[in-house]
Structure 1
Amino acid sequence: MHSNIIKVCAAFLFIINMAATASLGSTTTAESSSGFSRDLYENIITPGQKDNVVFSPASIQTCVALAYFGAKGNTESEISSGLHLGTSDKDVVAKRFSNLLTSSKSSTQLAIANKIYVNKELHVKKDFNSIAKEAFQSEAESVDFTENNKVVQKINSWVESKTNNNIKDLLSSVAPETSMILVNAVHLKATWKFKFSSYSTHKSDFWITPDTSVKVDTMSNADYGYKYAQWSDLDATALGMPYSDSDLEMVIVLPNKKDGLAALENKLKSADILNLANQMKTYDVDVYLPKFKVESKFKLNDALSKMGMATMFSDNADFSNLFEEKTPVKVSEVVHKAFINVDEEGTEASAATYMKIVPMSLNLDQKLFKADHPFLYFIKNQEYIYFMGRVASF
């Protein structure tokens, strides 16, 4: 009997195991991405947490959105609200994610891919399959989940191939009664528009607390073309660092106080950070930024439940738009894994010597941005937050 579990994985790693409409106001794509990213950050970070974090809001939102098209009733409305979709019109939602996937196809820096694995004894409904193909560019593949090792290897190999081998061993085992696995993978590899010289990288203090510092490899650069802003409501300073040949940029949000990260994270609950970032202005900026590499893995059941999507984990879940067969299913597990590496050349997130000489001119409007204490960051364009996280320790 294959009626009690569906597995959904999204990648860097995002796995959802499934077993077992209200009309909303108009919301732009940017508002949807910003709101979901903000809520997810709030529910992933625990009070007093000191470690570094990276996750991909775009990956998680995309994978859960695909499952949303298989949902009905209260399950459907909860997912819609939790994802900040802002509309009950599924054609609008489908178009939104179709645009996301299509834009990644034409990008040389960013790649987004979806994949569906279906139990060989079940048949996906025509409408769901159509949405998966047309909007999410995802092909369904029939597999035998009783062949545990073979299926695990197949899925892990797909994820590795889509993330430049940065995300390995996403899945450790699969139950034979699994009905479906949805996988999403996001990979970004981009170079800075204004590259840092490796010659300028030096050891500098990073203040973990106001009284405790460690020496870390710190990159430095000065250029006209960085975005910069003082966000007084957040008691923080923001820096926008563009990537070359792209509309993507990394935004570093630095609390004005060395111990201000927790307060900043609390203030994010009511902030539209994507809108704030999109309004930043260009300045001459002296930049000091530590090199960092982070890998994170989360089980997201609790976080998504707290975000209002609890029914999909319960026996009251309704995913009756998924299969032709009357197969009662619910979400049993959601796992996400992400990686980021930031250095002089750029960023690789799944994560030659260059020397630049600049004029030593006196610029009274020159800004200084020195990330020498805990900060948060996100990688975005005008409409989406692709990656987000924090650097708090070394």
Structure 2
Amino acid sequence: LESVDFKGNAEEARVHINSWVEKQTQDKIKDLLSQDAVGSLTKLVLVNAIYFKGSWNTQFKEEKTADVQFRLNKVTVQKVINKNNVSGQILEMPYKGNDLSMLIFLDTVSTQLEKELTYQNFVDWTRPDMMSPNEVDVKLPRFKMEEKYDLEKILTNMGMENAFDIYKRDFSGMSPANDLIVSKVVHKAFVDVNEEGTEAAAATGVDMEVRSITIPAEFVADHPFIFFIRHKPTKSILFVGRYCSPE
């Protein structure tokens, strides 16, 4: 908790907050708060920063990097989805130290893995008894992503609506006058994946066909996929994203 003077100099406070975020994320997250994000009426800003840089346990050979075609999924509409008919591949690639890993969920053509992906299914599909260590020939695009989100609506939908309500908020533990209210929550994330590993700031293979598991000899991520960076001892998901196009 740090006191800043929004009323007297909101711009100086904004620059100070942005500088702190840049330092915490090794200069990967810049300008978290835009000039219109805070003002003289701002009372409280919640800021969180996380930075991660991990090297693959088994690194990709840079000399084998090449340009290949990336296919975009065609959108189809189905009135009925058979929830048992889930087909796709899940790859887990550990980082050095083995406490952290990247999980990639790859739909096969015309399947519904992404739509069936709930937290419970994520837990079930990535259980140790469902994942089997095996040598896999992995083809994965290098990618760099940076996104920014306003989390007020998301947090409200998750049940945190009182923090944004002037009549219901209760920050009396932070201010005896209880005059604080959260006006904005901004989230910005950065992820860079290459041959050496992953840099991020905001191989076990399994082939899924109902309950019949076979290990693929090849994992080719040449169409949209979802990725997670997970802390294995606590099963905490640190980062999640969807890569859908190289453009």
Q: Could you tell me the TM-score, scaled by structure 1's length?
A: 0.52
Amino acid at match of 1:162: Q
Partner of residue 162 from structure 2, selected from 302, 311, 314: 311
State the Cα deviation string for residues 260-293 of structure 1 (Å, max 9, x = none).
Answer: 5xx4343123634245324222112111111111
CA spacing shift, 1:164–1:393, aligned 2, 3 Å: same
Structure-1 residue corresponding to 2:228: 378
The residue matched to 1:297 in structure 2 has which SS?
strand
Looking at secondary structure, tell me which structure has more helix per residue.
1
Shift of 1:242: 0.6
Contact 1:378 1:387 in 2 (8 A): yes
CA distance in structure 1 between the aligned counterparts of 2:180 and 2:114, rounded to whole angstroms: 35
2:1 paired with 1:149: no
Contact 2:224 2:243 in 1 (8 A): yes
Q: 1:113-192 residue pairs with structure 2 within 5 A?
A: 116-118=1-3, 143-145=4-6, 146-173=8-35, 174-192=38-56
Structure-1 residue corresponding to 2:211: none
Structure-2 residue corresponding to 1:193: 57
2:149 paired with 1:298: yes
State the Cα deviation string for residues 304-324 of structure 1 (Å, max 9, x = none).
Answer: 222233333223323244334
CA distance in structure 2 between the aligned counterparts of 1:167 and 1:197, rounded to whole angstroms: 29
| Identity rate, percent | 38
CA spacing shift, 1:191–1:283, aligned 2, 3 Å: same
State the Cα deviation string for residues 178-219 of structure 1 (Å, max 9, x = none).
Answer: 3333321100111110100111111212111359xxxxxxxx
Contact 2:135 2:217 in 1 (8 A): yes
Q: 1:225-236 residue pairs with structure 2 within 5 A?
A: 234-236=86-88
CA spacing shift, 1:210–1:203, aligned 2, 3 Å: farther
CA distance in structure 2 between the aligned counterparts of 1:350 and 1:166, rounded to whole angstroms: 7
CA distance in structure 1 between the aligned counterparts of 2:113 and 2:181, rounded to whole angstroms: 36
2:156 paired with 1:271: no
CA distance in structure 2 between the aligned counterparts of 1:192 and 1:305, rounded to whole angstroms: 37
CA distance in structure 2 between the aligned counterparts of 1:144 and 1:264, rounded to whole angstroms: 49
The residue matched to 1:238 in structure 2 has which SS?
strand
Contact 1:317 1:329 in 2 (8 A): no
The CA RMSD over aligned residues, in Å, is: 2.5
Looking at secondary structure, tell me which structure has more strand per residue.
1
Unmatched runs of 5 consecutive residues or more in structure 1: 1-115, 119-142, 212-231, 352-363
CA spacing shift, 1:238–1:144, aligned 2, 3 Å: same
Partner of residue 281 from structure 1, selected from 129, 132, 155: 132
CA distance in structure 2 between the aligned counterparts of 1:272 and 1:205, rounded to whole angstroms: 30
Q: State the number of aligned residues.
A: 221
Amino acid at match of 1:187: Y
CA distance in structure 1 between the aligned counterparts of 2:98 and 2:118, rounded to whole angstroms: 29
Structure-1 residue corresponding to 2:210: none
Shift of 1:234: 4.0
Structure-2 residue corresponding to 1:91: none
Structure-2 residue corresponding to 1:111: none
Partner of residue 90 from structure 2, selected from 238, 242, 252: 238
CA distance in structure 2 between the aligned counterparts of 1:365 and 1:165, rounded to whole angstroms: 40
Contact 2:171 2:178 in 1 (8 A): yes
